Amino acid sequence: MTVVRVARERAVATLTLDAPASRNALSAVLVGELGEALAECGKDDGVRAVVLTHTGNTFCAGADLRDPPPADALVGLLRRIVELPKPVVARVEGHVRAGGLGLLGACDLAVAGGAATFAFTEVRIGVAPAVISLPLLPRCDPRALARYCLTGERFGAAEAVRAGLLTAAGDDVDEVLAPLLEGVRRSSPRALAETKALLTARVLEAFDRDAAGLTALSARLFSSGEAREGMSAFLERRDPAWVV
């Protein structure tokens, strides 16, 4: 059963994360299918832009704790979004947690409905937002990242816009999205590719410089005793042992 659905309309490919039972968590299967769909969009001359969206009330809940992808696979997926020679636009109507925020950070544009919520929950299960920091650190407000990555607090769409995580937000997400897609449809494919390359140069520098070290850090943290306790507590719906 596929967990990423693909549709095309007026030169825009829409990739829909379709695993609502797992809150579209980043499983090995989902990461693999999404990477393949993005690769096909990159090769398709009829695709001018890609919209990344979801079914259910959660855009992406982060890593699937029951079937987590290897850290290097997640790095590869994020890099594929950044390197794709076409704009990738995230369309969010629900909640985004942990690794899902890495997907938003990798996208060129991101819009959300007013009810969307966001949280970097890694510290609450004993790990760190290591790999997803690659696209986020060059693009987001550092003070906002410090607050939300260190506390795991939940925040709303307006704050996500202020922090640089979102491009725009509004009550009707499709109303917010429409002018962005219209602008892309009026732009030349080559100009879009060259402009995207200019805008993502610093992000790709971070991948080249830091990806190996952050992949190793992620693997080390996920195998730690604190992470085992944190993930067990999450799955058992209880507080981890360190809560005071």
For the annotated catalytic residues, the residue numbers are: 122
- Helix (H) and strand (E) counts in the chain: 9, 10
Whole-Å CA distances, 121 to 88, 155, 209, 244: 25, 12, 25, 17
E strands along the chain, which residues?
4-9, 12-17, 49-54, 58-60, 88-92, 95-97, 109-113, 117-119, 154-156, 168-170
Q: How far apart are CA 95 and CA 97, in angstroms?
A: 7
CB 41 within 8 A of CB 34: no
Say if CB 101 and CB 132 are below 8 A apart.
yes
Best CA proximity match to 100, nearest among 58, 68, 158, 66: 58
Q: Say which residues have a Cβ less than 8 Å from residue 108's Cβ, sequence separation at least 6.
A: 87, 88, 89, 196, 199, 200
Quote the CA–CA distance of 36 and 31 in Å, as a whole number: 9
155: nearest Cα among 121, 110, 194, 205 = 121
